[in-house]
Structure 1
Amino acid sequence: MLTLFGNITIILLTRTNESLRTPMYFFLNNFSILEIGYTAVTVPRMLSDLISGNMAISFNSCITQMYFFFLFGTTEFFILALMGFDRYLAICQPLYYNNIMSTQFCLQLVLVSWISGCMVPIVPTIVLSQKPFCGSKIINHFFCDVGPLVKLSSSDTAFLDTFVLIISAVVVLGSLFLVTVSYVLIISAILLIASSSGRSKAFSTCTSHFCVVTIFFGTVIFMYVRPSSGENHEMDKAVSVFYSVVTPALNPLIYSLRNKEVKNALVKVLHKKRHFLEQSEVIPSVKLKEYS
């Protein structure tokens, strides 16, 4: 509920407030949509299983869950890289920012990110769906992750293991590389600013994104950009809870508590709501005259 409420609030603020209609908040809007989808793929099913005690899931539902989990997760990496690129242009190339980050260009970047996110999990999903599962049917996880599913297959999965590791490294480390380069250039430019207030203001526009990047990339790299672990299933599940449940709930708080523009927009909305309620209380009621 915290994840849904926080991300829906950010979506509504970025779409209704004039001051937040910028490329940065357009990307944040898409990021919040992805966070909702990312959480909705796993958490409702997990809560349902915990309440009902029925842990069974059909094979088709399992494969579908895996595909959409990686679709939303992969697209999030691309959006985070775009947000880093946007902050680089805003701070390092302010004179060219408005010309480069036009509405059409932002739409194209986001569209490419979504399409790429849809394409990346297709091959692993198709290959895994064709594998035989003749032994144990118990997935040692709280959702259908690719690692536990591969371990259940009774056929040779060396190619699939290698493919998943390579594609994860390309997506995750490639996005991290772009974000890192952006922040190296950003920090270099900020350090050249003479006034301390100017440096503080420039840093404040990046802190929220930097916090989200650190948490999200760190946990996912631990899970997917490493060779298959032996029997460390409990640690994997604990880390999975962190990046699939905890992080999506924290991200709206990070962007709202660390971002003055979001806080100001939220205060304005609450002030308008309060003013409307106060006005409705002072408006006299009108009683219809009764006619015989």
Structure 2
Amino acid sequence: MLTALLVAAGLALPGVAVFLRSSTMPPAPPVTGSPSPSAAEPTFPERVSRPLPILPEQVERTRALIEDESLPPPERSDAALLLLDAHWVRERWRSLARDGERISQLELPRFKDRLPAEQARWTRIMALWNLREWDSMMQDGEVFLRLYPNSLMASSVELQMRNVVHTREYEAQCRKDNAETLRKAEQQAAQDIAEKEKRGEPTAPIHRKLALLRCTVPAGMFHQEALTACRAFQKDFGAGSTPVELNEYRDARGLEIRALIGLRRYSEARKLLAGFQASDPEGEPRTSAGAIVNGLPADAEE
């Protein structure tokens, strides 16, 4: 059941955290078998928790602290963990993947029971999952398991690696199912059009229905296909002349916005949503596009 839920979530909208989403910092792993500090090593007092670097200038200052070799190593570790936590909380997956890769290369000491390199590799793997960069995620997962076989985070890495396999299989099957659905619909539409042409009846409603199906079938999973088809539907058929056709047009507008979110094209999605709300304030609530766009962090990365 868990795998199925994660697969379903992973195929949804990458602007929404998929795995272990939390409004707090990532869970701190326990000590994983690394040697305890010897008596000769210095000890450091507990620090008061500092606010996470959220603003761009705070992020840049924190990156500078991490790279500053003149600072005591524990301070650099503290900064590294704060930066990873900030990216996680704000769902800045691209920054998390990039900074996680850099921090994993630094030999920083454990700070408050968290080893920066281990935490960086783990959070980078989760970021790559959310970015659907599965080849890179699988490679990083293998490295993590080799470097930290006793980590309590190893089980979550193994789970995500299995989920990649299941997700790819599921996606491949869905592509086949979608293709078959559309093939049958097109075959039926061709027959219906031929019959109506013989009787001299209009065929536009059949074309419209088929175009809408091409928009709705890939929605939620195959974002580029949905975007292309939903835009074509709006261009070719518009709002129609009946309440039913108007609602179909509204649905296509909502699915276009959802597809843009799935493609991480958030600026375009926000712009289209604003236009939708301005031109059709009664129709936009019919879709869930507004709720999804408004649920994105303000600084969500494209």
Give the TM-score normalised by structure 2: 0.28
**Structure index of larger Rg:** 2
Does 1 or 2 have the higher relative contact order (CA < 8 Å, sep 6+)? 1
> Which structure shows the bigger proportion of residues in helix conformation?
1
Give the TM-score normalised by structure 1: 0.28
